[in-house]
Structure 1
């Protein structure tokens, strides 16, 4: 019986106890298959690392998604210290899925928070099979399973797939788009306008110096009128979803 069948039968039977094997048995079975099967050496080394970390501390968390042929698809792993940090600083979490520079072409996703000293600290890592909704759904479900609770606030880049997943999987989490990713796109999105330099300066002044939500709305409306940006779909989209935020 291959790994996917084991997982499906486990769910349908109501838990591993009804099948005569434990969750640890299932995890070890999957890990052993990946370590001994004809997979890339990097996957085998990754699984060896996870097993070593699990031996050092049983609270180390990792979970692997396989396809019907028992081939590696996605993985989530959380260090024990990262999980402890989430309990203290997990109110606001930033998720970055823009890394895809590894030689296997697997998107890398990181979960980051900021501690009381203003320092960014890694909470969680994941490798995705692809950047489609089912992959993100699996990553977020496993992450919440590990942490026990969803964050109060989550900040992401402007990925619509992630937006849909968070809206459905984390309905009580307030989602905002990262200002750094937005401002990084300004030259590409707005450089074609004749008064781009003034436009750029005014937009940054509104974003960073508006003291209240009301003043931001008033300044933004004047800004759109001043530069005749009513038909700019990209700018309109930022406010339609109400995700233009100064959090970073």
Structure 2
């Protein structure tokens, strides 16, 4: 083995595993070292699976734990591959053959972890048999029969079952929910789900449902759908979720269906006030379904959107003083109008002014709002 040359880490590992299998011991990957200032491997070590001593770690709690049998015996056998430059191949620079424990018997050496692997060809065979509806145990029996006996198969029954488990899990993750999404998209149909809560939530809605927050800004799931919870606060200022929607779009049709479904699940009782972000489809849906509900806009979203529309005004402290006063600090409609006129003439502000009754507290003092000004 001394002065043996290999092109990469994988070839080095294969070489040492073949040697170890012929000598009846297993291999484990050990330390590696990089060239300074780069991610290119300079040196890689492989050791016997019984090399070193297990590190004793303090227990974090008094909970029961399962202790595995420690098979390590500070076995010194190892091999080190090293190269001089990033472009050079690896060469064996250290090789220790010393043994201090019994080797695996010839009948059991095929069970050593480093001697077990499922090749790409075998993985394809397993996948095809599972897709054909053949049970895992029958698949394994077929593979054993094909090779003649299990000790030359190259992997154990557990390895085979673990691969099948991962295969089925990946299919569920990649295809199950996504296939539903794709099917609806192919048919150009909207996807709408409403998850209603239990009886406890309906009781909470009867008590605390005068003001509801509805936020459609959560879009973090991998299926690119909108997660929109219906939220209220109780007398302890704790959030209560009455329901949650998943939408594929923000059209007026989607929101009309959603708000109708929400009211139906809550006994047909509309909230006095609903606070949302600014979206045209949502506004239409609320206007047509929640006829007696006061629709308000989230002040936080308006504040976040303001800088992108105001240009140089975003650095004007006097302007923002008037702007924030209009948001929450005007005591009367007259004061609001006067303060608004003090701000500069701006298209976005003009449009915001036209819907002032939906976001300024000044225009909503006649309706109970539970102190809410934002959606979340």
Shorter chain as normaliser: what TM range?
A: 0.5 to 0.7
User: Cα distance 1:171–1:131, how it changes in 2: closer, same or farther (>3 A)?
Assistant: same
Distance 1:100 1:194 in 2: 28
Residue 226 (structure 2) pairs with residue 107 (structure 1): yes
Q: Is the 8 A contact 1:153 1:173 kept in 2?
A: yes
Residue 215 (structure 2) pairs with residue 96 (structure 1): yes
* Equivalent in the alignment of 1:41: 176
Q: Is the 8 A contact 2:272 2:292 kept in 1?
A: yes
1:172-211 Cα distance to aligned partner (Å, 9 max, x none): 1111111111111121121323862321233113423222
Greater helix fraction, Structure 1 or Structure 2: 1
Equivalent in 331, 335, 350 of residue 236 of structure 1: 350
Structure 1: which 4+ aligned runs deviate by more than 6 Å? Answer: 66-69
**TM-score calculated relative to the size of structure 1:** 0.65
Q: Per-residue deviation at 1:159?
A: 0.4
* Equivalent in the alignment of 2:242: 123
Equivalent in 330, 347, 366 of residue 210 of structure 1: 330
Q: Is the 8 A contact 1:107 1:127 kept in 2?
A: yes
* Equivalent in the alignment of 1:181: 301
Runs of 5+ unmatched residues, structure 1: 1-38, 45-65
| Higher RCO (C-alpha under 8 Å, 6+ residues apart) | 1
User: Cα distance 1:207–1:133, how it changes in 2: closer, same or farther (>3 A)?
Assistant: closer
Distance 1:119 1:68 in 2: 41
Q: Is the 8 A contact 2:215 2:277 kept in 1?
A: yes
Describe how 1:121-200 pairs up with structure 2 within 5 A: 121-148=240-267, 149-193=269-313, 196-200=316-320
Q: Is the 8 A contact 1:178 1:245 kept in 2?
A: no
Q: What value does the CA root-mean-square deviation take over the aligned residues?
A: 2.6
1:135-169 Cα distance to aligned partner (Å, 9 max, x none): 11111111011001111111111101100111111
Q: Is the 8 A contact 2:178 2:223 kept in 1?
A: no
1:57-114 Cα distance to aligned partner (Å, 9 max, x none): xxxxxxxxx8997x99221012213222111111111110111111001111111112
Q: Is the 8 A contact 2:299 2:327 kept in 1?
A: no
Distance 1:68 1:115 in 2: 42
**Residue 192 of structure 2 aligns to a residue in which SS?**
strand
**Residue 358 of structure 2 aligns to a residue in which SS?**
coil
Runs of 5+ unmatched residues, structure 2: 1-173, 362-372
Distance 2:332 2:312 in 1: 30
